[in-house]
Structure 1
Amino acid sequence: MRALTWHGKHDVRVDTVDDPEILNPRDAIIKITSTAICGSDLHLYDGYIPTMKSGDILGHEFMGEVVEVGAKSTLKKGQRVVVPFTISCGSCYHCGKHQYSACDNGLPADNQDIAQTLYGQPMAGLFGYSHMTGGYAGGQAEYVRVPFSDVGPIVVPDGVEDDKVLFLSDILPTGWMAAENAEIEPGDTVAVWGCGPVGLFAVQSAFLMGAARVIAIDHFPRRLELARRFGAETINFEETATYEALLEMTGGIGPDACIDAVGLEAHGFFVDNVVDQIKASLFLGTDRTHSIRQAILACRKGGRVSMPAVYGGFVDKFPLGAFMEKGLTLKTGQTHVQHYLPGLLNAIMEGKIDTTFLISHTLPLENAPDGYRMFHDKQNEVTKVVLKPGLERVELDI
C-alpha cells in the first residue's frame, strides 16, 4: 500500500509499504477514505517529538471502511467508521472511569519504559505519533490496523459525507474537552490562545457551553476571521499587547477561564519566547511555553486554565507563584475521545456543530508532503488539509 512516512525533520515521503494485517482478535483493518494533517503532526515534522524512527507511518485523524475484522471485533465489513486517535482497551482502571487517554494497556509492553521514564507512567497508545506512544502505524495511508476496534471506532450513519464527521477523530473532541476542562459557567468570559483547528473548535464549544464572551488570540488574519464568524472577539498579538488588552476588555479583572490551544511551538517575538527558542536550538530545552505563561498571568483570580495544547518535556520560567497566589486551577491531558464521540456525533447530525468550515485544502494522499509543507509554511491560508487515498497526484504551485 501507499503511506506517508517520516524520515527526519521536514522530510516526509509517500512510500510503498507492507499492508497491515490482523495481529489480535480485537483488531480491524480500515480502508482509509479521508485522513487529515493535524497541527500536532507539525511537531513531528519539525523534529520536536522524540523516539521517531525513519519509515514510521504518520497520521492520527482518519476514517474509512471496515474491510477485515478479527474474531473479537464488534465491527462489520462494509461499515464506515471514524477512529479515535487514542488507542484504549476499554477495560482497565482508567478506561472504566472514561479516562481513555490514560489507558494502561494501549501501549505495547516494549514501549512502556520510554513513557515511564519521561512521564512517570505510560499513557494510552496513539496512532502515528512516535514509539513513546506505542510505535503504531498511522492513518495517512491507504489502510491501517486498528487495535481494540470493539472500543474505539464509531459507526457513521449512511449518507453522511466524510467532511462532516472526520474531525471526530481528534480535533473536535479535543476542542470540546478543552472547553469542558475550563468549567465554563453561563455568562463567563473565556480567552482562547490559538485559532488553529483545536482553538476554533474550543471557541465554538465555549459558546455552546454558555460563555457570554469568547476572546480569541492569534496573529493570522484568516484564522481570526474564522473565530469572529462564531461570535468571538479577537486580539492580534502582533498588533496589540495581549495581557493589557485582556485586562481592559474585562474591566481589569481578567478572563474567567483561559484555554491554551497553542502548545510547545509558540510564535511571537517576546523575550521569554526568544529565550526558549535559543535554548531549544542549543538542546538546552524543548518547549516554547509563552502561551501557557501568558494564560496564567492573564486569568482572573480564582479562575480556571485549560491546556489542550501539546507539550513534550520539561519547562522553566513557569509562573508557579502566580498560579498559587491567584488560586487558579489547571486541567489538561490528551483527549478522552471515545467518551465524547456519541454526543458530538449527535450534535453534528442535529446541526449544532459545524466542522466543514475548517477545511481549506483537499489533496490526494500522494500530495501529502506538499500538504505538510503548505500547512507548515502558510498557516494563514491553510487551516486544514484533508488527504484522500486513491486520487492521482496533482502538481501544485506552492
Structure 2
Amino acid sequence: MRALTWHGKHDVRVDTVDDPEIINPRDAIIKITSTAICGSDLHLYDGYIPTMEKGDILGHEFMGEVVEVGAKSTLQKGQRVVVPFTISCGGCFHCEKHQYSACENGLPAENQEIAQTLYGHPMAGLFGYSHMTGGYAGGQAEYVRVPFSDVGPIVIPDGVDDDKVLFLSDILPTGWMAAENADIEAGDTVAVWGCGPVGLFAVQSAFLMGAERVIAIDHFPRRLELARRFGAETINYEESKTYDALMEMTGGIGPDACIDSVGLEAHGLFADNVIDQIKVSTFLGTDRAHSIRQAIIACRKGGRVSMPAVYGGMVDKFPLGAFMQKGLTLKTGQTHVQHYMPALLNAIMEGKIDTTFLISHRLPLEQAAEGYRMFHDKQNEVTKIVLKPGMDPALPA
C-alpha cells in the first residue's frame, strides 16, 4: 500500500510499504477514506518529538471502511468508522474511569520503558506518533490496523459526509475537553491562546458551555477571522500586548479561564520565547512554553487554566510563584477521545456543532508531503488539510 512515512526533520515521503495484517483477535483493518494533517504532526515534522524512526507511518486523524476484522472485534465489514487517536484497551483501571488516554495496556510492553523514563508512567498508545507512544503505524495511508477495535472506533450512519465527522478522531474532542477542563460557568470570560484547529473548537465549545465572552489570541488574520465568526473577540499579539489588552478588556481582573492551545512551538519575539528558541537550537531545552506562562500570568486570581496543547519535555522559567499565589487550577492531558465521541457525534447530527468550516484544502494522499510543507509554511491560508487516498489529483482542492 501507499503511506506517508517519516525520514527526518522536514522530510516526509509517500512510500510503498507492507499492507497491515490482523495481529490480535481484537484488531480490525480499515480502508482509509479521509485522513487529516494535525498541528501535532508538525511537531514530528519539525523534529521536536523524540523516538521517531525512519519509515514510521504518520497520521492519527482518520476514518474509513472496515475491510477485515479479528475474531473478537465488534465491528462488521462494510461499516464506516471514525477512529480515535488514542489506543486504549477499555478494561484497565483508567479506562474504566473513562480516562482512556491513561490506558495501562495501550503500549506494547517493549515501548513502556521509554514513557516510564520520560514521564514516570506509560500512557495510552497513539497512532503514528513515535515509539514512546507505541510505535503504531498511523492512518495517513491507504489502510491501517486498529488495535482494540471493539473499544475505539465509532460507527457513522450512512449518508453522513466524511467532512462532518472526521474531526471526531482528535481535534473536536480535544477542543471540547479543553473547554470542559476550564470549568466554564455561565457568564465567564474565557481567553484562548492559539486559533489553530483545537483553539477554534475550544472557542466554539466554550460558548456552548455558557461562556459570555471568549477572547481569542493569535497573529494569523484568517484564523482570527474564523474565531470572530463564532462570536469571539480577538487580540492580534503582533499589534497589541496580550496581557495589557486582556487587562483592559476585563477591567483589570483577568479572564476567568485561560486555555493554552499553542504548545511547545510558540511563536513570537518575546524575551522568554527567544531564550527558549536558543536552548532548543543548542539542545539545552525542548519546549517553547511562552503561551502557558502568559496564560498563568494573565488569568484572574482563583481562575482556571486548561492546557490541551502538546508539550514534550522539560521547561524552565515556569511562573510557579504566580500559579501558587493566585490560587490557580491547571488541568491538562491527552484527550479521552472515546469518552466524548458519542455525545459529539449526536451534536454534529443535530446541527449544534459545525466542523466543516475548518477545512481549507483537500489533497490526494500522494501529495501529502506537499501538504505538510503548506501547513507548516502557510498557516494563515491553511487551517486544515484533509488527505484522500485515491483522490484524482486533477480535482479542485
For residues 6-155 of structure 1, the aligned pairs below 5 Å read 6-155=6-155
Aligned residue identity for 1:142: E
CA distance in structure 1 between the aligned counterparts of 2:5 and 2:364, rounded to whole angstroms: 15
Distance 1:53 1:393, change over 3 A: farther
CA distance in structure 2 between the aligned counterparts of 1:282 and 1:392, rounded to whole angstroms: 44
Aligned residue identity for 1:221: P
CA distance in structure 1 between the aligned counterparts of 2:118 and 2:286, rounded to whole angstroms: 13
CA distance in structure 1 between the aligned counterparts of 2:188 and 2:138, rounded to whole angstroms: 39
What is the CA-CA distance between 1:390 and the residue it aligns to? 1.0
TM-superposition CA deviations, 1:178-224 (whole Å, max 9, x none): 00000000000000000000000000000000000000000000000
TM-superposition CA deviations, 1:120-169 (whole Å, max 9, x none): 00000000000000000000000000000000000000000000000000
Partner of 2:324: 324
Distance 1:72 1:395, change over 3 A: closer
Q: Does the residue aligned with 1:330 lie in a helix, a strand or coil?
A: strand
CA distance in structure 1 between the aligned counterparts of 2:309 and 2:259, rounded to whole angstroms: 9
CA distance in structure 2 between the aligned counterparts of 1:21 and 1:310, rounded to whole angstroms: 31
Q: Is residue 158 of structure 2 the alignment partner of residue 158 of structure 1?
A: yes
Q: Does the residue aligned with 2:47 lie in a helix, a strand or coil?
A: coil
Q: Does the residue aligned with 2:21 lie in a helix, a strand or coil?
A: coil
Q: Is residue 309 of structure 2 the alignment partner of residue 306 of structure 1?
A: no
Partner of 1:259: 259
Partner of 2:195: 195
For residues 243-392 of structure 1, the aligned pairs below 5 Å read 243-392=243-392
Q: Is residue 190 of structure 2 the alignment partner of residue 170 of structure 1?
A: no
What is the CA-CA distance between 1:396 and the residue it aligns to? 11
CA distance in structure 1 between the aligned counterparts of 2:314 and 2:252, rounded to whole angstroms: 32
Q: Does the residue aligned with 2:62 lie in a helix, a strand or coil?
A: strand
CA distance in structure 2 between the aligned counterparts of 1:97 and 1:59, rounded to whole angstroms: 27
Equivalent pair of 1:86/1:124 in contact (CA under 8 Å): yes
What is the CA-CA distance between 1:266 and the residue it aligns to? 0.0
TM-superposition CA deviations, 1:10-64 (whole Å, max 9, x none): 0000000000000000000000000000000000000000000000000000000
Aligned residue identity for 1:102: A
Equivalent pair of 1:364/1:394 in contact (CA under 8 Å): no
CA distance in structure 1 between the aligned counterparts of 2:9 and 2:394, rounded to whole angstroms: 24
TM-superposition CA deviations, 1:353-374 (whole Å, max 9, x none): 0000000000000000000000
CA distance in structure 2 between the aligned counterparts of 1:144 and 1:39, rounded to whole angstroms: 21
Q: Does the residue aligned with 2:8 lie in a helix, a strand or coil?
A: coil
TM score, norm. by length of structure 2: 0.99
Q: Does the residue aligned with 2:315 lie in a helix, a strand or coil?
A: coil
Gap runs ≥5 in structure 2: none
CA distance in structure 2 between the aligned counterparts of 1:247 and 1:74, rounded to whole angstroms: 53
What is the CA-CA distance between 1:300 and the residue it aligns to? 0.1
What is the CA-CA distance between 1:267 and the residue it aligns to? 0.1
CA distance in structure 2 between the aligned counterparts of 1:275 and 1:232, rounded to whole angstroms: 31
Q: Which moved more, 1:312-321 or 1:388-397?
A: 388-397
What is the CA-CA distance between 1:391 and the residue it aligns to? 2.1
Equivalent pair of 1:263/1:289 in contact (CA under 8 Å): yes
CA distance in structure 1 between the aligned counterparts of 2:187 and 2:396, rounded to whole angstroms: 46
Q: Does the residue aligned with 1:77 lie in a helix, a strand or coil?
A: coil
Aligned residue identity for 2:104: D
Q: Does the residue aligned with 2:128 lie in a helix, a strand or coil?
A: coil
CA distance in structure 1 between the aligned counterparts of 2:289 and 2:315, rounded to whole angstroms: 7
CA distance in structure 1 between the aligned counterparts of 2:157 and 2:192, rounded to whole angstroms: 33
Equivalent pair of 1:128/1:138 in contact (CA under 8 Å): yes
TM score, norm. by length of structure 1: 0.99
CA distance in structure 2 between the aligned counterparts of 1:315 and 1:276, rounded to whole angstroms: 8
Moved over 6 A (4+): none
CA distance in structure 1 between the aligned counterparts of 2:302 and 2:391, rounded to whole angstroms: 52
CA distance in structure 1 between the aligned counterparts of 2:293 and 2:221, rounded to whole angstroms: 23
Gap runs ≥5 in structure 1: none
Aligned residue identity for 2:101: S
TM-superposition CA deviations, 1:229-266 (whole Å, max 9, x none): 00000000000000000001000000000000000000
CA distance in structure 1 between the aligned counterparts of 2:379 and 2:304, rounded to whole angstroms: 29
Aligned residue identity for 2:240: T
Aligned residue identity for 2:77: K
Q: How many pairs are equivalent?
A: 397
What is the CA-CA distance between 1:341 and the residue it aligns to? 0.4
